[in-house]
Amino acid sequence: MRILRDYRKVPEECQGLVLAIGNFDGVHRGHQAVIAEAQKQADKLGVPSGVLTFEPHSREFFAPDAPPFRLSTLETKAAHLKWLGVDVMVALKFDLAFSQKSAEEFVKDVLVDGYKTIHVVVGYDFIFGHKRQGTTVVLAALAKKFGFGLTVVEPVGEETTIFSSTAIRECLKQGDPSKAAALLGHWWEVEGTVVDGDRRGRTVGFPTANIPLVGYHHPKLGVYAVRVGLQNGTHVDWINGVANFGKRPTFDKKDVLLEVHILDWSGDLYGQTSRVAFVDFIRPEMKFAGIDELTVQIALDVKAARTILAEPDNRQTKYADKKTLS
């Protein structure tokens, strides 16, 4: 998969493609339907398929001090797009100048002059351009004016739930990563750099990799059955684990940290980037009377995680395999 960051100098082999456009935060099943339609159109026309997204997310740009909300970083998003078989990923920088482009300027500068796009695919709720004035109706008129095709994908869901980033965030807030995975079409995962901690886990027989979650939507505080993705050459090894996401009230800590104990594994991860996929919720975070009581509970959590991760429904390997960005 080619990754491009600009629309002013586009390699010839990345022009004349079908583009799916959106933020694609989480690359959930609704996003996957939009991407699949773009790939279908690209196959029909015999041209590359592409996904155009924005970094940072416009919501981050306009409200930098708001609570973190993202389901995926650009790195994870790229890995999932590669996993889905996308030919070209375009990650345009969203800054003040870009935010002031009108809907027509965006279409002409980026889609027509930049990528010479022959067909565009968007979701039903796609909004673009300065002050969010571009709707799918506006885009249809611009497609006719500039001579490219357009497909608008209707809402996708099951039963009474539409696949959406908002619904997934609510699942995670309620401590239901399994339901979030059903909406995503893959496990929800985070990644971050392992930092040095108190090393208290080693003293009780359960060493942890400590990972601050920067920019991510925060799931419910508590203990989870997880899988940890460790880079191994050109692919990622996923290893069972148990994690606590919380403030560690037993030790009167206030900051929120993800602490991951990798089952049946030993090694040093300090300074390395690790991925953590949330499979199921085990229990809420609790305050214990002391180390002994905590140690007993961790042993029970490990046992619970082993049981959960061995369940047939949790054995599926829906993971984007390798790092894509340099």
Q: For 134-164, how does the pLDDT look when each residue is reduced to its tens digit (9 = 90+)?
A: 999 999 999 999 999 999 999 888 878 899 9
Report d(CA 298, CA 261) in Å as an integer.
10
pLDDT digits (tens, 9 = 90+) for 5-63: 999 999 999 999 999 999 999 999 999 999 999 999 999 999 999 999 999 988 888 88
Per-residue pLDDT tens over the stretch 65-92: 888 899 999 988 998 999 899 999 999 9
pTM passes above 0.95: no
Tell me how far apart the alpha carbons of residues 187 and 180 are, in angstroms, rounded to a whole number. 8
Give the residue from 186, 168, 177, 273 showing the smallest Cα distance to 224: 177
Which two three-digit tokens encode residue 71? 């389901």
Q: Average the pLDDT over 292-309 and give the result.
A: 93
Q: Are 25 and 71 in contact (CB under 8 A)?
A: yes
Please report which confidence band the pLDDT of residue 325 belongs to, taking 50, 70 and 90 as the band edges. Answer: very low
Q: 305: helix, coil or strand? A: helix
How far is Cα 270 from Cα 209, in angstroms, rounded to an integer? 8
Q: Would you say residue 277 has pLDDT above 70? A: yes
Type of residue found at 181: A
Continuous H helices in the chain: 29-45, 58-62, 74-83, 96-99, 103-106, 136-146, 165-173, 177-184, 200-203, 291-310
Place 197 in a pLDDT band, splitting at 50, 70 and 90.
Answer: low
Q: Domains in the chain, ordered, with CATH?
A: 2-158 (3.40.50.620), 189-314 (2.40.30.30)
The predicted-structure confidence for 210-258, as pLDDT tens digits, reads as follows 998 888 999 999 999 999 988 777 778 889 999 999 887 666 666 788 9
- Which candidate, 52, 32, 66, 75, places its Cα nearest to that of 128? 52
